[in-house]
Structure 1
Amino acid sequence: MATSAALWGYRDEFGDAFGRTYFRRFGPGVASSVGIGTYLGEPTAAVDDASREAIGLALRSGVNHVDTAVNYRAGRAERVVGEAVRDSPIDREAIVVATKGGFLPFDGDRPDDPAAYVRERFLDTGIVAREDLANGAHAIAPGYLEWSLDRSLERLGLDAIDCYYVHNPETQLAVRPAAAVYDQLEAAFEVLERRRVAGDIGGYGVATWHAFRVAEDDDRYLSLAEILARAEAAGKAVGPDDDHGFDAIQLPFNVAMADAFTRSNQRPPSAPQDDSRVSTLEFAHEAGLSVVTSASIGQGDLAVDGAIPADVDATLAGETPAQRAINFARSAPGVTASLVGSTDLDHVRENVAAGTFDPLGASAFDSVFE
C-alpha cells in the first residue's frame, strides 16, 4: 500500500520537473495530478503488452496514480496494472493504485453470449442474486462486492488497494428507488470499512458517470451529502473509532463536460438543511474529498486542433490540444487528479508533459465561464 513517506519521496524525486501544484494531496500523502487510466482497448495480448509498457513508462516519468476496474478490458486491465507495478523500479509504496467494483467482469475475453455467461458464472453459482442485478450486469450488494474486491486483489497480485471505488452506483436507480440505493451503499461501505480495518484497502469512494453531474430531478442523480452521511454511519457501525474511509469521488470532467463545476446541484455540507446548493466540486472541496476526473480529454475527442473552443484554448498552457485539455481539467478548483488512458508511448510522454505547465489559477478558471 502507498505510504506517506514513499509518496512524498516520489514527489521529491520528480517534483522539480513539473509545474506548480503538479503533486496534490491524495490518500496518506501526495500523488501526481496527471494519472493513467486503463479503460480503453481490446482484450488482447497485444494491448496487454502495450498497456504494461505505457504504465511502466508513466511510473518512471512522474505519474504515480494508476486507475483501473475489475471489468475493464474483460478483466485483463487489472492483471496488467499489477504486473506493471510489480515490475517497476518505482517502490510500490510510492504508487497509488485505484480500482473499482460494481460491474460484473468477464474472464479475459468477451463471451459470445454475455447473458448466458452472467447466468452461469454469477447467478447459478450464487455470487450474485438476481434481485441485486441492474441492467443485467451491475451489482453492489455486500456479498458481491466482497467477492469482487477479492478478485481484484488476486488479479492485481498486490497486498492492498489504495482506493477502492463503488462503480457507477447510479446504475441501480434503473431498478430501485434512490432510498434503496442509499441503503445499498451504506451496506457496501460497511464491507469496505471492514476491509479498510483489515488493511486490504487504504480508502474508498464512488466512481460515477452521471450521478453527480445531472440536475436533482434527473432519474440518475445521487446526493453526495447523503452518500457521505451513509459512509459516516458505516464508519461508526464498524469502528474501531468514529472515523470513516470515504476519501474520494471520480467523475467525468473536461471542457465539454464541466457540469461538476457549473451546475449547483448538491446541498453544501456546512448547511445541509437549507435551500442553498453548490457544485459537486465545491461540495467535495468543503468536505475534504479528493476528486479524480475521468474522460479528461474526452476519450481522445479533445486531443485534436479546434476541439477546444478558441477563447478557452487561448487561456490554457500546453503545446498540444491534449495537453491543454488535460490542463483544463487539472485547473478546476477542487480537482485532485485527471486521468488519461493511453497505450501509445508517445501519447504517454505528451500527457506527462502536460504537468510541466502550470494550471490556471482559480480566478482565471472562473473567468472561462463568464
Structure 2
Amino acid sequence: MISGYASLNGTKEYVTRFNQFYRTTPMFYTSSIGLGTHLGDMNENDSALYCKGIEYGLRKGLNVIDTAINYRGMKSERDVGYVLTSLIERKLIKREDVVVSTKAGIIAGDIEANLVPIDYLQKVLIEGGIITEADLSIVDHHRHVLAPAYYEFAIHKSKNHLNLETIDIYYVHNPEISMMTLGSEVFYSQLETLFAFFETQVQMGHIKYYGLATWLGLLTNPNEHGYISLEKVVNIAKRLAGNSHHFRFIQFPLNRKINNGVRMKNQKVNHHWVTVVEAAEKLGLFSITSAPFHLGKLIDEGSSSQSMLLEVIQMKGILSTMVGMKRNEHIKENMETIRVFQNRINGKSL
C-alpha cells in the first residue's frame, strides 16, 4: 500500500506549480474543483474513461479526488486506486500532493463479485457477522448504517481499493437517512459512538480527518424530517476529543436548484441563525460542495456549465467543488473556468 497522506507542504508545492487558483486550510492546499467519481456505468468502458480523466486532471493541477465505496459498485474506488498507484510509481505525483476522500454508510454492491447491494448486504455483511438487521435504517430503497463495525469493514475495503495506507477525509455518507428512521436522540447518540471510533481510526493512521457528506440533511428546515444540526455534531466531536477533534469537513450539493447552503439561515450557532457555510466557518469546519450541475440536469436544461461552475467556485467559504468528470474534454473545459475566475481576481487566492 502507498504510505503517507496529503500534507500542507506537499499540496502547496503541487498547486503552486501549476500557477492556478487554489484555496488553503491548515492541513493542505486544494484546487478549487475536484474530481468527482459518482456518475457512470459499472463497466470497463467507463472505468477506462475515468482512469484517463483522473490521470489527466492530476497531471494538470487538480489535487482533490472524491469517491465512495458504493459508487459504481465499488469500481470508482478501484479506478482511483489504479491511477494513484500508477502515477506515484512513475514518480509523476507524490502521495502528499493529493487529497483523497471517500465515504461509507449507504450499503454498497460489488460489481466484481456480481453482488447487487441487497445481496451484498445479506451474503457479506449479515451472514459475515459484520452488521445485523437491527443496524439498518431504511428509507425507500436506501439502506444506511451507523454501526462502527460496518465502518471498520468499509475503511479496510476502501483502503484496499485505493491502495492507500491513510485516507485523507472519510465521510459518513448521507447520514440523514439514519436520522429519518432513528429520530434525533438516538441518531446523535449513535453518531457519538461512531465518532469515537473514527478518532481511534485517526490515531491508528487509517484516516486523517472525518466528516459528513450529506444530500439535504444539512440544508433543510430545522423542523423537517432528517435535519442535522452542525453545532450538535461539532459538540459531539468536542466532547470526545476537545478542540483537537478530527471532524473537520462537510460536503453538500450547491447549484442553482439547491442553494440553501449559502442562502438559507437554517443552522443555529451560539444562538444565532446562519447558513450552512457560515456555520461551518464559525465551527472550524471546511465546506466542500458537490453536484454543481445538479447531476447534469441543469446542463440538459440548457444552462452554461461554465457560468454555473463560476457561480459556485467564486462563493466565499467553499474549499473545493467536486465535479463529476471522466472525459478529458470536460476536465479541460472546467479547468478553463478556473482560469477565467483566476483572471477576475488577478491571481490572488481566497
Measure the CA separation in 2 of the matches of 1:52 and 1:172: 33
Contact 1:192 1:204 in 2 (8 A): yes
Matched residue SS, 2:266: strand
1:115 pairs with 2:118: yes
1:150 pairs with 2:156: yes
Cα deviation for residue 173 of structure 1 reads: 2.2
Matched residue SS, 1:336: strand
**Which residue is equivalent to 1:50?**
49
**Which residue is equivalent to 2:15?**
11
Alignment of 1:279-318 (within 5 A): 279-303=275-299, 306-307=302-303
What is the one-letter code of the residue matched to 2:80? Answer: V
Contact 2:108 2:116 in 1 (8 A): no
Measure the CA separation in 1 of the matches of 2:193 and 2:313: 33
What is the one-letter code of the residue matched to 2:135? Answer: D
Measure the CA separation in 1 of the matches of 2:14 and 2:227: 38
The verdict on how the C-alpha distance between 1:114 and 1:170 changes in structure 2, with shifts beyond 3 A counting, is same
**Which residue is equivalent to 2:109?**
106
Cα deviation for residue 90 of structure 1 reads: 1.4
What is the one-letter code of the residue matched to 1:182? Answer: Y
Cα deviation for residue 110 of structure 1 reads: 8.8
Give the TM-score normalised by the residue count of structure 1: 0.86
Matched residue SS, 1:298: coil
**Which residue is equivalent to 2:167?**
161
Matched residue SS, 1:104: coil
Alignment of 1:15-94 (within 5 A): 16=19, 18=20, 22-26=21-25, 28-88=27-87, 89-94=92-97
Measure the CA separation in 1 of the matches of 2:256 and 2:293: 8
Aligned residues with identical type, % of pairs: 30
Contact 1:251 1:294 in 2 (8 A): yes
Measure the CA separation in 2 of the matches of 1:348 and 1:186: 39
Query: Which deviates more, 80-89 or 134-143?
Result: 134-143
Measure the CA separation in 1 of the matches of 2:318 and 2:153: 31
**Which residue is equivalent to 1:250?**
251
Measure the CA separation in 1 of the matches of 2:49 and 2:57: 12
Match of 2:305 among 322, 326, 330: 322
Give the TM-score normalised by the residue count of structure 2: 0.90
Contact 1:140 1:188 in 2 (8 A): yes
Contact 1:250 1:294 in 2 (8 A): yes
1:225 pairs with 2:224: no
Measure the CA separation in 1 of the matches of 2:254 and 2:30: 19
**Which residue is equivalent to 1:182?**
188
Measure the CA separation in 2 of the matches of 1:131 and 1:27: 40
Tell me how large the CA RMSD over aligned residues is: 1.8
Measure the CA separation in 2 of the matches of 1:119 and 1:305: 40
The verdict on how the C-alpha distance between 1:50 and 1:119 changes in structure 2, with shifts beyond 3 A counting, is same
The verdict on how the C-alpha distance between 1:245 and 1:113 changes in structure 2, with shifts beyond 3 A counting, is closer
**Which residue is equivalent to 1:137?**
143
Contact 1:253 1:260 in 2 (8 A): yes
Match of 2:318 among 332, 335, 358: 335
Matched residue SS, 1:255: coil
Query: Which deviates more, 119-128 or 211-220?
Result: 119-128
Q: Which runs of 5+ in 1 are unaligned?
A: 237-241, 308-320, 362-370
Measure the CA separation in 1 of the matches of 2:16 and 2:59: 14
The verdict on how the C-alpha distance between 1:116 and 1:106 changes in structure 2, with shifts beyond 3 A counting, is closer
The verdict on how the C-alpha distance between 1:27 and 1:41 changes in structure 2, with shifts beyond 3 A counting, is farther
Query: Which deviates more, 126-135 or 205-214?
Result: 126-135
**Which residue is equivalent to 2:268?**
267
What is the one-letter code of the residue matched to 1:250? Answer: Q
